[in-house]
């Protein structure tokens, strides 16, 4: 193996460690060196402990040499968004209110990553309370541009080859958008597949755990390690676990057909995005068909806002009442709007979550997946905003599985993601079709 082990995919690194071609300690050292090299400009990390990371790696290598069982992520470092509780790092929610907050228990998702053998390298920057006010993170492709949010540090850390995998969350567009802006794979599973126990609660109805990776295979490897029922998160499912990793290597029984859905966010997308998706549709030929949703989903942005803001007004009530002066004006405005939501409007909005998901079921009888923009365009210049989450809103609201693939570019040469959407509960087929699409376009180029 050459130097620069930090550029290995997670699957490559896990295999090399398992076969004793490299050690976890060597891999972690290269990741730490990369962080020292570039993070003064990118600012992806909020808590990191090099000595502790190396000690974890040494113990991981010792376990492998002993012949004891090892997990699928054995020795592979991951970054964790700073809203997941971790027993060995502060969890501060991107807010001075919780500066140096220490917990003694891992979030379930973090614990399952450890069980899979992962090394918790550190905590990545989040927007304040996983909402809209950005942290200090910049886009690794152009530090004058936003990396997106709220999972900004996780997306940037993977894009900058500081770590092969990172953990994030999405309540609106907080995985799909930063993955698109930073040019990495982002995956948000079907609602309820991954536990949110001991993760900052913004909205129980909308919060979903997601992953960042540099390959589709890596996203499958990480997500499959976390999926499972957890009685401490009543929204997790007892359905059988999907075989995501297996799906990546499977050939579809026949070439898939895709529905090109512009969706309610299309008018917000820039002309370069319109052109890029026109070219993509042309490249797919008869494998894609444009499907017009009409105006029935145009109000999804208001329904999503009602649910999210009412929920965060409830969940952040103590912070608002006791620490309002330490909250950003943007968050205060969201909380105050949420406090004014009428019960009947909230109830109607909740009804539409399942209604919207069910309404798409007939489409997946004809098509294998939906293709749609992941963002309104390439990452905007400026760090005062995390960008527009609108292209992800409908699919997140409906709890459908989504993935963004770094397949296109904007006018400035910045990444532009292609978002694929699957039927709720059919994440396995989503991975199989995403893998097919990536290979098909690679062969065309």
| Residues known to be catalytic | 81, 150, 174
Place of tokens 């070439």: 255
**DSSP H helices in 9-151:** 10-18, 24-42, 50-66, 108-115
Beta strands in 250-401 (DSSP E): 258-260, 288-290, 369-373
Q: How far apart are CA 299 and CA 281, in angstroms?
A: 27
Per DSSP bridges, beta strands 258-260 and 369-373 are parallel
Per DSSP bridges, beta strands 288-290 and 258-260 are parallel
Per DSSP bridges, beta strands 77-81 and 165-170 are parallel
Nearest CA to 122 out of 210, 187, 31, 195 is that of 31
Nearest CA to 409 out of 89, 156, 92, 181 is that of 181
- The contacts of residue 265 (CB under 8 Å, 6+ apart) are 373, 376, 388, 390, 391, 393, 394
DSSP, residue by residue, 332-372: HHHHHHHTT--HHHHHHHHHHHHHHHHHTTTHHHH-SEEEE
């Amino acid at each position: 193996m050459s130097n620069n082990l930090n550029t290995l995919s997670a699957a490559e690194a896990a295999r090399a460690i398992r076969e004793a071609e490299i050690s976890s300690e060597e891999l972690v050292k290269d990741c730490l060196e990369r962080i020292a090299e570039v993070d003064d400009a990118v600012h992806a990390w909020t808590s990191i402990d090099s000595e502790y990371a190396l000690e974890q790696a040494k113990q991981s290598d010792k376990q492998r040499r002993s012949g004891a069982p090892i997990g699928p992520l054995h020795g592979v470092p991951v970054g964790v968004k700073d809203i997941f509780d971790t027993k060995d790092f502060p969890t501060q929610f991107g807010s001075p209110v919780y500066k140096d907050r220490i917990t003694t228990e891992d979030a379930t998702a973090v614990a399952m990553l450890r069980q899979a053998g992962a090394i918790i390298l550190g905590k990545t920057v989040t927007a304040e309370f996983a909402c809209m006010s950005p942290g200090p993170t910049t886009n690794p492709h152009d530090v004058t541009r936003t990396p997106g949010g709220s999972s900004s540090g996780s997306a940037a850390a993977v894009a900058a080859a500081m770590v092969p995998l990172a953990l994030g969350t999405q309540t609106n567009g907080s995985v799909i958008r930063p993955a698109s802006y930073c040019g990495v794979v982002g995956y948000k599973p079907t609602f309820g597949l991954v536990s949110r126990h001991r993760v900052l609660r913004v909205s129980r109805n909308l919060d979903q755990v997601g992953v960042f990776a540099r390959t589709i295979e890596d996203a499958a490897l990480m997500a499959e390690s976390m999926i499972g029922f957890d009685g401490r998160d009543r929204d997790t499912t007892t359905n059988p676990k999907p075989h995501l990793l297996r799906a990546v290597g499977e050939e579809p029984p026949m070439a898939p057909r895709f529905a090109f859905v512009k969706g309610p966010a299309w008018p917000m997308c820039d002309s370069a995005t319109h052109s890029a998706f026109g070219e993509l549709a042309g490249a797919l030929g008869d494998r894609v068909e444009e499907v017009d949703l009409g105006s029935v989903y145009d109000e999804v942005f208001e329904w999503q806002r009602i649910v999210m803001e009412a929920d965060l007004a409830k969940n952040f009530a103590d912070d608002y009442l006791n620490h309002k002066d330490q909250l950003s004006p943007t968050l205060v405005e969201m909380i105050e709007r949420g406090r004014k939501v009428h019960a009947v409007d909230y109830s109607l909005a909740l009804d539409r979550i399942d209604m919207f998901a069910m309404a798409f079921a007939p489409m997946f009888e004809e098509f294998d997946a939906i293709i749609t923009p992941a963002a309104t365009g390439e990452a905007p210049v400026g760090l005062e905003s995390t960008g527009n989450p609108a292209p992800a809103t409908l699919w997140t609201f409906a709890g459908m599985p989504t993935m963004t693939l770094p397949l296109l570019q904007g006018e400035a040469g910045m990444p532009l993601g292609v978002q694929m959407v699957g039927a709720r509960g059919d994440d396995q087929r989503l991975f199989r079709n995403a893998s097919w699409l990536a290979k098909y376009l690679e062969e065309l180029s």
